[in-house]
């Protein structure tokens, strides 16, 4: 059992997402006499989720313009990933390197047999081997915990809620039966609620991967040290706000964009200070 009960929290957040979706469905049914539009969006959402989940690895790798790395090119990277995979009794994932100086890393794939790990050139330049091992332990645990499925489902449900709510705002249904103010309120607030819940799920998964990855690498302070360097490194060399990168940014160990002000509310990653504090608590002492 995990100390932070993140699995239970994720289940509760999914429950709230579905409750919002059912609430919208009830308003649509009251306003139009039919819930058919909701089912149409639900089918489209499931289809989109299935495609994204099945191809998530290819999409993420392509967005970072990453290339497959051979063991000759990156012997240290291969050694660390192989050691961690063997320790976890899991298959060796494919390894990619992204030619960007923005320091980051991510793992993707629908299951351990189809997993891939990608490190940017920037992260390989600023982390020592111990810190890199902590980062890779974190990323591999995302795959082992099936976080790709979790994030795909959360994104799909949030997308359905947003689309249906927008449809309600513009078309409104039969105003003889529906409460116009309720329709407008739901159309405006539902997308924001869905986005915040989706982000909460993403943040929960990050805490989980930090804890499990630290156990896998047997070195929580190494991961804490890496996160400190990544926070500074990303601020010096952030990724551009390209939509393809935005769509895959939740996979990365650190928020790859400059953050500040209201952007922090909608960040896919929890604050670095909180993540580092949790890791230091695991180790029983603060990082020097």
Write down the residue that tokens 């909608």 correspond to: 266
If one compares 98 and 196, the residue with the highest pLDDT of the two is: 98
- d(CA 58, CA 75) in angstroms, rounded, equals 23
What is residue 47's predicted lDDT score, i.e. its pLDDT? 74
Q: Whole-model pTM above 0.85?
A: no
Phi/psi at 160 (nearest 5 deg)?
Answer: -65, -45
Write down the residue that tokens 């089912």 correspond to: 39
The residues carrying an active-site annotation are 139
Which of 95, 123, 93 has the alpha carbon at shortest distance from 252?
123
C-beta neighbour count of 253 within 10 angstroms: 28
Q: How far apart are the first and last CA of the chain?
A: 30
Q: What is the mean pLDDT of residues 100-122?
A: 93
Inform me whether the pLDDT recorded for 44 exceeds 70. no
Q: What is the mean pLDDT of residues 182-211?
A: 74
How far is the CA of 165 from the CAs of 48, 91, 175, 193, in angstroms? 18, 42, 16, 11
If one compares 140 and 146, the residue with the highest pLDDT of the two is: 140
- 185 confidence band (pLDDT: 50, 70, 90): low
Residue 175 lies in a domain: yes
List, edge to edge, every strand of the sheet that includes 116-120: 67-68, 94-98, 116-120, 105-108
Write down the residue that tokens 């070195």 correspond to: 219
C-beta neighbour count of 196 within 10 angstroms: 15
Inform me whether the pLDDT recorded for 135 exceeds 80. yes
Neighbouring residues of 216: CB distance < 8 A, sequence distance ≥ 6: 84, 87, 88, 137, 140, 141
DSSP conformation letters of 100-153: -SS--EEEE-SSGGG-EEEEEHHHHHH--HHHHHHHHHHHHHHHHTTHHHHHHH
- d(CA 66, CA 60) in angstroms, rounded, equals 9
Structural domains counted in the chain: 1
Look at phi and psi of residue 109 and say left if phi exceeds 0, alpha if psi is from -120 to 50, else beta.
Answer: left
Residue 232 lies in a domain: yes
Query: Residue 43, CB half-sphere, CA atoms under 13 Å: how many?
Result: 5
Phi/psi at 286 (nearest 5 deg)?
Answer: -70, 155
Inform me whether the pLDDT recorded for 172 exceeds 80. no
Residue 271 lies in a domain: yes
Residue 288 lies in a domain: no
Residue 242 lies in a domain: yes
- CA dihedral 44→154→226→125, nearest 10 degrees, is 0
Q: What is the mean pLDDT of residues 181-201?
A: 66
CA 24 to chain centre: 25
Residue 189 lies in a domain: yes
- d(CA 278, CA 255) in angstroms, rounded, equals 18
Q: What is the mean pLDDT of residues 263-282?
A: 84
Q: What is the mean pLDDT of residues 65-74?
A: 95
Q: Domain residues for 69? A: 6-283
Residue 1 lies in a domain: no
If one compares 208 and 177, the residue with the highest pLDDT of the two is: 208
- 107 confidence band (pLDDT: 50, 70, 90): very high
Our CA angle for 99, 88, 105, nearest 5°, is 20
Inform me whether the pLDDT recorded for 127 exceeds 70. yes
Neighbouring residues of 77: CB distance < 8 A, sequence distance ≥ 6: 69, 95, 97, 119, 124, 132, 136
């Amino acid at each position: 059992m995990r100390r932070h009960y993140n699995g239970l929290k994720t289940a509760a957040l999914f429950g709230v997402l579905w409750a919002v979706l059912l609430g919208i469905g009830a308003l649509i049914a009251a306003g139009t006499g039919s819930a058919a539009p909701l089912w149409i969006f639900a089918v489209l959402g499931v289809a989109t989720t299935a495609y994204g989940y099945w191809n998530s690895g290819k999409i993420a790798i392509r967005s970072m313009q990453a290339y497959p790395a051979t063991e000759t090119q990156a012997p240290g990277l291969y050694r660390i990933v192989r050691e961690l995979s063997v320790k976890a009794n899991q298959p060796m994932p494919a390894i990619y390197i992204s030619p960007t100086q923005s320091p980051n890393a991510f793992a993707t794939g629908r299951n351990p047999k189809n997993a891939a790990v990608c490190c940017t050139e920037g992260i390989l330049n600023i982390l020592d081997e111990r810190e890199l091992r902590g980062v890779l332990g974190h990323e591999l645990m995302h795959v082992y915990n099936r976080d790709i499925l979790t994030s795909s489902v959360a994104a799909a449900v949030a997308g359905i809620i947003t689309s249906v709510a927008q449809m309600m705002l513009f078309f409104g249904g039969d105003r003889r039966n529906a409460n116009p103010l309720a329709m407008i309120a739901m159309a405006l607030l539902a997308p924001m609620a869905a986005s915040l819940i989706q982000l909460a799920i993403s943040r929960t998964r990050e805490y989980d991967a930090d804890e499990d990855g630290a156990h896998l690498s047997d070195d929580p302070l190494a991961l804490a040290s890496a996160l400190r360097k990544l926070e500074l490194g990303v601020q010096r060399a952030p990724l551009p706000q390209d939509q393809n990168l935005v769509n895959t940014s939740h996979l990365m160990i650190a928020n790859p964009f400059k953050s500040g002000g209201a952007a922090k509310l909608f960040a896919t990653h929890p604050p670095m200070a909180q993540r580092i504090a949790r890791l230091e608590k695991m180790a029983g002492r603060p990082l020097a």
